[in-house]
Structure 1
Amino acid sequence: MEDFKKCSDAAFCNRLMGSVDEGYMIDPASVKIAGSKLLCRVKNAEIPEVDLELTLTSYGSFIRLHVNEDASKGRFQVPGVLQKELTESESAWETSKAAAGYALLKLGSADIRLKYKPLELTVDIAGKPAIVFNGRHMFNFEHLRQKKEGDPEGWWEETFKSHVDSKPRGPEAISFDLTFPGFNHVYGIPEHATSLSLKSTVDLAENMTSEPYRLYNLDVFEYMADSPFGLYGSIPFMWAHRLGATVGAFWLNAAEMFIDVGKTDKETATNWVAESGVLDLFLLLGPSPHQVSEQYALVTGPSALPQYFALGYHQCRWNYRDEADVREVDANFDKFDIPYDVIWLDIEHTDGKRYFTWDQHLFPNPAKLQEDVAEHGRKMVTIIDPHIKRDPSYYIYQEAEKGKYFVADKDGKDFDGWCWPGSSSYLDMLNPAVREWWAGQFSLAKYKGSTPSLYVWNDMNEPSVFNGPEITMPKDNLHFGNVEHRALHNQNGQLFHLATAMGLEERGRAVYGSDGDRPFVLSRAFFAGSQTVGPIWTGDNTADWDHLRVSLSMIMSVGLAGLPFNGADVGGFFGNVDAELQTRWNQLATFYPFFRGHAHLDAKRREPWLFGDEATRRIRDAIRQRYILLPYIYTQFRHANTSGLPVMRPLWFDFPEEPATFAVDDEFMLGPALLAAPVLEAGAQSRAVYLPGAGPWYDAQTGALVKPDKAGALSVPVTMDDVPSYLRGGHIIPLRERARRSTAAAKNDPYTLLVTLDNKGQASGDLYLDDGSSFAYKRGMYAHRVFEYKDSALSSKALPGSPSRYGTDLVIERIIIVGLKHKAASYAAKNKETGQRYTVEKGPVAQKAGVAQEALIVRKPDLPVAGDWSLQISVTK
């Protein structure tokens, strides 16, 4: 880790982290309140040059604090992340009062007090303090200035290792403190390989500090578990949660950032420092976890709805050698009866690391290969990285150089960095013309050898520069509009991701017409707004138990930060994995939002059938279970698409009133109805499990009622076949139980409804249906069904407000009901509309030999999955 900076190595962090300045104050005469806005000027008597414009805007359920110098100074403001509809959602202050020394504002249950001297903003929710801005007086705003003799060291030129940063604009950093009174847990600000509830980096009582959390997108080789060090992505979005309230803070800033966290029994205090940009801070007022997610989605956008196939199993490694290797792997999935949907090609498939090309010796007929894989209902993915080989005979380089599409160095020449192809240039994706040109490269006519079933993987887009400072791009490089790289570094990967997805969208419209084809583009680097583009993964992890464990908190943290479609390399990227770890990782990844096996070039082959017969059987079971759950998972992604809700989430998200859940990060919820407590220790023979809420909870395999102790705890014996997972009473989960080779092969399969009753004998759930691939859902071509079990009747109705314009002949062929209190000898089921009767019997929840007969099963009712109906269950004797 010596290649990377700490706070003490970054001049701006050294200057401002922990720095107190009580001189910033609001000019009372400048305060104006009109409609949704409060405007005023901020000054500092000790620094006469400071004259800042502060705007506080109301959006009904959240507020925005924006502070900047005069716009003519040209400080960078992050483009393209905020939703276009945001200004339309501004909401007038319900009451407002500007008085001597402060302004008082009210918004729903929130009371907001803006103190003038020194500047301080306090937000009370339901009468209790929840957020305080600058309560510890750590706000600093380094105004732009001219260089002069005697300026302090580090204001201008700065050196790290052998790299010199010219810093021509001088100091322009911003810092502030946010305090969360009454909160002991904060979450988010990914990406870090650490606990879900963020650990303190500052001991407030002892005035001692450790390394702060860093947000700076970097290519970190073999990152460590349990570290605050920044990794491949950055989202400056922090949650705070306590009994009765959940709030969030999002700073729209793409520059390098450090955040300190300090905790006492009474509060959590945080200190944020960024190298440049403006202060554009959104305070999300909740007060529930679901509402904070929804508010963040209003600001930066909800998650893109993925194609259905993208939720299946993906097989990847660096690298599948040639066409014969790909065909053999594809055939072996069928031979061993293991479903999968996508096979991936890493950098070695190209001609000398020239992206959009193929090695003609190894892949002489790539289109035919893709077509053959597609005949099995499967897709392929190729890697397309942002570094462009500096080769005058390479058409991509030729066109980009001619168009002046590359990032420039500080002297205005095309930047020359080192990456996989050797000497490379880097596309300037801040330039809209470059994004448009790049998108055009994915057309079938331009990308020779590609087909409509080929999708894309963006790696190394932090950007990774092997000979650059911290293995990335120099900060004084220049982008479109003369913007320094330091200002947009953390957004760089998102812009590249966006341009690639634009290309696949354009290709989809050209091939399929106006409804097109939803893009699938995986990215390693990410920023706020990446959720509107596509999935990410947690980067180059290691084949060990520590990385298995930390994957849970990493995936949940990224999901809380608004990016639910993410996962970790199954088995670990670096190193070799044994059968036990590989099995346990697949059993966990059954529930990952993104499920991909991947491995390093030097790692031993690890396809699912290479660990012995018993391991193969267990991994097959895990992957099949994933496919059974896909209707439920796809429905959860629809909720992410409409409301920003995370798919895999911490227990406290669904049980916010249970303090015992607040620090749990070795269990999680998949949607609202399924809890998983995966085995995370080698050689484990038991697993401690906590089940929140009043229950009931049911074993996901048997349907048996699970009875924890009064504290919600139980110890579960486990073998290598066991994956402790539990069904939450009161929910209905849609499934598809037939074993198929891929999602395409299951397209016409019927559905199963799994009904888990609560203590009142009731349950509810939903199922989202569309064509699984196009954008037709945006014009109402979908069905969203709501199921309810009440008074011994199961009914299906359209979600209120949904168009129900998606026609399908698919049916529900099986209904499983768990938790019936009446232990009758037999039951009957009757369609209340038609009077038709159906066979009812006792049976297992899972279709596996030896599983207890704990459920009531209605077989072959063949009810229309997208139609209205009601089914009455009654006791016959």
Structure 2
Amino acid sequence: MEPEHEAQVEECSATEETAQYKTCNDIAFYRRQKLLKSGNCLFHARLDTLSLSGNEAKFQIFNADTKVFLLVEVYSIVGNVVRIKINELAPLKPRYEVPDVLVKEPLTQRLIVLEKDENSITLSPGENGPQILITAKPFQLDISLQQELVLSVNSLGLLYFEHLQPKPEQKTSAETNESSAAKSEKEADNDLGLWEEKFNAFCDTKLSGPTSVGLDFSLHGYEHVYGIPQHAETFQLKPTEDEEPYRLFNLDVFGHKLHSPLGIYGSVPLILAHKPKKTAGIFWLNASETLVDISQRAVAKPLTIGIHQDVKKVRPEPQTDVRWMSESGIIDAFLLLGPSTYDIFKQYAQLTGTQALPSLFSLGYHQCRYSYDDQADVEQVDAGFDEHDIPYDTIWLDIDHTRGNRYFTWDKTKFPNPKRLQQRLKSKKRKLVVISDPHVKVDEKYYIYSQAKARDFFVKDSTGEDFIGLCWPGESCYLDVTNPLARDWYADQYSFKRYECSSDVLYLWNDMNEPSVFKGPEQSLPRNVLHHGGWENRDLHNLYGFYQQMATADGLSRRSAEKERPFVLTRSFFAGSQRYGAMWTGDNMAEWGFLKISIPMLLSISISGISFCGADVGGFFGDPEPELLVRWYQAGAYQPFFRGHSHTESKRREPWLLGEENTKLIRNVIQERYLLLPYWYTIFYEAHVTAKPVMRPLWVEFPEDVDTFGVEDEYLVGNALLVHPVTDAEATAVTILFPGSGEVWYDVKTFQRLQARQTMTVSVTMENIPVFQRGGTVIPKKTKVGKSSGWMSEVPYALQVALDSKNSATGELFLDDGHSFAYQASNQFLYRKFHFHNGVLSSSCADDRGKYKTKCVVEMVLIVGMKASPSSVMVCYSDGTEKVIPFKYDAKTCVLTLENLVLNVGNDWKVKFS
């Protein structure tokens, strides 16, 4: 470590200990918006201005007090989505509208007038589409689907829109004799932070003055709401009437508090509401700081009898009101009307894209530390996995692998031969991930700095000079990744020609990209720094990490001429980040509470479109006791992104350092992960194609089961595995809800059959966490584990068939080369369907576009839940030949086993049980 860097670490540590973050009352636009009380709507609609042109409806609304006019645009998007945009009718200059997050402009449909009177108009794209009731005075929108009111907009009258205005002229020195009333008014203005806002020692001057926007939405019949990651909070969102609102503002919060609504590393402004049979959502497309207030109440609704309403008879119905408040931009809201849960996921993916299909290696185990000492240390750790027979795919290098924290360089003292290191890993079919942060050391001799400076690619301070802040390298400039030209240049830096000593086994990790600025306001960029196009950081702050990951993924794709899939992990994220790779929950602590909170955090992220997510196994900071570390490995092995990571001040904790018994437990669960890689890969393909989350809350699969709505300590991996991690010290049992009326569940280790629906206390030992396979599913697995996923490409498959109450089961397998884009470019994939019904297990093609050739075979089949032994088993091959084969049947576990099969994965075949 260079002396300069060592001093910087000490400075950072002190900063982290004393860092302060805003509460809601420290946020001026929040204080201003909270002055507006519900039930006092100031906006009226001018229905005479309504125009229906093309597929858009436009009309004006005005503030009865200020006489400021706003333009409302309403769109009906194909697939039961309504978009509402509100902007100034004639702003002094353009307001920020979020680019690049939507994958394309949504496909809209023409709206027609269904009904009209003096105070309202009802619009709809047709009989089966949503109906949009516009009420003029006061202004309100009511959105119905299938004759049911789903959402109301501005029903509380909390529409808030600060129009752009010229800055008040400064008073001259002659105007010093202000009246006391004038002074009081001035002090009140300062408290509201209209043109200037102070926090601790920082003063935020506002180029455009007050520009805040806000709007309320009422979700009718809903009391369970989820989403708006990420917060270290419960999965089900809580009412905030007497608490802090949920904050969406990407921040580097080291050692963040549990059960806090403070925004941390990433944010997705999406809320989902669920009730039996129906789900709805609100996507608030705004990248500035956003606060979300949630309130819940019971509303009296007329009791409907047949087609007639008896207004004298009412029933209480739950209602959730969601108030969005943003610092700047416009109002751009997408109302996702479902009605089913999976409809919602499709609707959101239609807007922001689906999860990128990861390379197979990235679904294996990742080993990371801040930092490994040197090249010899890395090679010893790599050898340790082989010595202890523990599979892994990727080893990671943190900032200390670079020359003085200059990214795209190597410390040649510590890493004298990076190419040899990568060649050694490649020979073992393993990968290397290195870190690349967005801050750039101020050093004219550093080519990244000098080239970016020459091209004017750095964020500017409020005076127009390159902003300089402190981060790991010391004085640093920050790449303006909002600039398309800067992103293009940055992507080029990952080419093999430009990135010295890089190879095709080197992948990337974007950290500190909130972005983090030591000694900055809330350890981040000042809000008045300037980005490409003259936009202030306040306008687009939450997009910064999104853009860096976008550029990094682009660079990794380009270096292979768009043939190979990138792998990029990011700490900061936004809506749409799923298109570019994976994310994790950031710098957690080695404490039981952080293991416990990781589950609801990951569930919130998963239902917000980002399936490839995880939490650092063991906790980043601190020294986990052996029991905690084992339990964390057991949990992490059944979560999408699986990485062990630790801080430089933590004790070394490679899986074999805690004694043979703990090593055995960790080895076993990592091997379980590798055996299940075909299933993981298949459900990631499903997420990529259909937007179904990989890690699912119970209510997603059981939408009518009310008891699942508040569950956050267990979840489903795909549709087939129910997982309940052990998150308490010295636990000997856990209480598990087995959801679904008539469902059957099987313990994956003992094959014990459990009939849902029930809540049970299940005993646990250190050897296991509860994992159950759902009856009616087929899980593809590998029959043995290799040193890494690359060693397992030709290992035969096993099918684990779990029968439901009707003795049937269905499952899929997706297979391709595991790393390239050939599955898209030339249909080089196989998608197979396995179906068990009426005593026949069949394999058939699930997508006839697939052309991938493989020699891989199904070698083993387990039928779980077969209540009686068959008299014979016959295989019917694709060429028409048949063969009677031996089998084993265990009457105690009701498991039938077929071994030594040679059933080509790509062929149709049947196995008949008679």
Structure 1 residue corresponding to 2:119, chosen from 93, 97, 101: 101
Q: What does 1:707-786 align with in structure 2 at a 5 Å threshold?
A: 707=755, 712-779=758-825, 780-786=827-833
Partner SS state of residue 641, structure 1: helix
User: Do 1:17 and 1:273's aligned partners in 2 also have CA atoms closer than 8 Å?
Assistant: no
- Supply the distance in 2 between the matched residues of 1:74 and 1:764 (Cα, whole angstroms): 54
Which stretch of the first structure deviates more once superposed, 105-114 or 770-779? 105-114
What is the Cα deviation at residue 98 of structure 1?
Answer: 4.2
Q: 1:632 matched to which residue of 2?
A: 679
Residue 600 (1) aligns with residue 647 (2): yes
Report if the CA contact (8 A) 1:17-1:271 is conserved. no
SS at structure 1 position matched to 2:687: helix
SS class of match (1:715):
strand
In the other structure, the counterpart of 1:848 is none
CA shift digits 1:504-558 (9 cap, x unpaired): 011122xxxx5x1100010000001100001000000000110001000111100
- Tell me whether 1:653 sits opposite 2:653 in the alignment: no
1:866 matched to 2:884: no
Q: Is the Cα–Cα contact under 8 Å of residues 17 and 272 in structure 1 kept in the other structure? A: no
| Residue identity opposite 2:844 in structure 1 | K
Question: Offset of 1:55 from its aligned partner?
Answer: 3.1
1:685-721 CA distance string (max 9 Å, x none) = 111110001211111112221246xx51111111101
**Could you tell me which of 376, 379, 385 is aligned with 1:327?**
379
Pick one of 370, 389, 392 that aligns with 1:337. Answer: 389
C-alpha separation between the residues in 1 aligned to 2:799 and 2:807?
16
User: Deviation per CA, 1:225-259, whole angstroms, max 9, x where unpaired?
Assistant: 11111110010000000012101110111000100
> Which of residues 42, 50, 59 is equivalent to 2:61?
42
> What per-residue deviation string (whole Å, max 9, x for no partner) do you get for residues 49-76 of structure 1?
3333433333232111111124762101
Separation in 2, partners of 1:636, 1:100: 53
Give the secondary structure class of the aligned counterpart of 1:636: helix
Provide the secondary structure at the position in 1 that maps to 2:380: helix
- 2:224 corresponding residue in structure 1: 185
Distance of 1:614 and 1:127 partners within structure 2? 61
The answer to whether the aligner puts 1:7 opposite 2:32 as a matched pair is: no
Q: CA deviation at 1:102?
A: 1.6
Give 1:790's aligned residue: 837
Match of 1:234 in 2: 267
1:140 to 132, 137, 160: 160
Post-superposition Cα deviations, 1:561-581, rounded to whole Å, max 9, x if no partner, equal 101101000000011011100
Query: Which of 896, 903, 907 is 1:856 aligned to?
Result: 896
Letter in structure 2 aligned against 1:488? L
Contact persistence 2:735–2:761 (CA under 8 A): yes
* Aligned mate of 2:881, from 834, 837, 844: 834
How far 1:313 moved relative to its partner? 0.1
Query: Do the aligned residues in 1 keep the contact of 2:75 with 2:108 (CA within 8 Å)?
Result: no
Q: Distance in 2 between matches of 1:61 and 1:689?
A: 36
In the other structure, the counterpart of 2:636 is 589
Equivalent residue, structure 2, for 1:259: 292
- Structure 2 SS opposite 1:264: strand
Stretches (4+) displaced over 4 A? none
* Structure 2 residue matching 1:73: 3-state secondary structure: coil
SS of 2:768's partner is coil
1:145-164 CA-partner distances (Å, limit 9, x unpaired): 11226672211011111111
Structure 1 residue 611: deviation in Å? 1.1
User: Which one of 105, 109, 113 corresponds to residue 91 of structure 1?
Assistant: 109
1:536 and 2:583 equivalent? yes
What pairs up with 1:207-606 in 2 under 5 angstroms? 209-265=242-298, 266-509=318-561, 516-606=563-653
Tell me the SS of whatever aligns to 1:861.
Answer: coil
CA distance in 2, matches of 1:156, 1:30: 34
TM-score, normalising length: structure 2: 0.91
- Secondary structure in 2 matching 1:255: coil
Quickly say closer, same or farther: Cα 1:731–1:326, change in 2 above 3 A: same
Letter in 2 for 1:771: D
SS in 2 for 1:508: coil
2:56–2:73 contact (8 Å) kept in structure 1: no
Equivalent residue letter for 2:219: F
Choose the corresponding residue for 2:43, options 24, 28, 32: 24
Once residues 890 and 567 of structure 2 are traced to their aligned partners in structure 1, the CA distance between those partners, rounded to angstroms, is 39
2-structure distance, mates of 1:777, 1:502: 18
Q: Distance in 2 between matches of 1:343 and 1:75?
A: 44
Structure 2: runs of 5+ lacking an equivalent: 1-17, 170-184, 299-317
User: Secondary structure of the residue that 2:109 maps to in structure 1?
Assistant: coil
Aligned mates of 2:489, 2:676 — CA distance in 1: 39
Match of 1:175 among 210, 214, 233: 214
The structural deviation recorded for 1:34 is 4.5
SS at match of 2:688: helix
Separation in 1 of the partners of 2:887 and 2:129? Answer: 50
Distance 1:374 1:9 in 2: 52
* CA distance in structure 1 between the partners assigned to 2:884 and 2:112 by the alignment: 57
Residue by residue over 1:252-284, the C-alpha shift from the partner in whole angstroms, topping out at 9 and shown as x without a partner, is 110001001112342111111000011110011
- Deviation, structure 1 residue 867: 1.5
Matched residues in 2 for 1:671 and 1:724: separation? Answer: 16
What are the superposed Cα offsets for residues 381-404 of structure 1, whole Å, 9 maximum, x if unpaired?
110000000001101001011111
Contact 1:58 1:92 in 2 (8 A): no
Secondary structure (helix, strand or coil) at the match of 1:281 reads strand
How has the CA–CA distance of structure 1 residues 378 and 843 changed in structure 2, closer, same or farther, with 3 Å as cutoff? Answer: farther
CA RMSD for the aligned pairs? 1.6
Match in the other structure for 2:749: 701
For residue 319 of structure 1, report the CA deviation from its aligned partner: 0.4
Q: Residues of 2 paired with 1:93 and 1:774: CA distance?
A: 43
C-alpha distance in 2 between matches for 1:825 and 1:454: 52
Amino acid at match of 1:526: F
**Alpha-carbon deviations, 1:112-137, whole Å to 9, x = none?**
31212212111223333221111111
Q: Secondary structure at the match of 1:194?
A: coil
Distance in 1 separating the partners of 2:843 and 2:835: 7
Q: CA deviation at 1:825?
A: 6.7
Matched residue type, 1:574: F
Matches of 1:288 and 1:64 in 2, distance apart? 19
Conserved? CA contact 1:755–1:816, under 8 Å: yes
Quick one: distance in 2 between partners of 1:56 and 1:114? 13
State the partner residue of 1:61.
80
| Structure 1 CA distance for aligned equivalents of residues 34 and 833 of structure 2 | 51
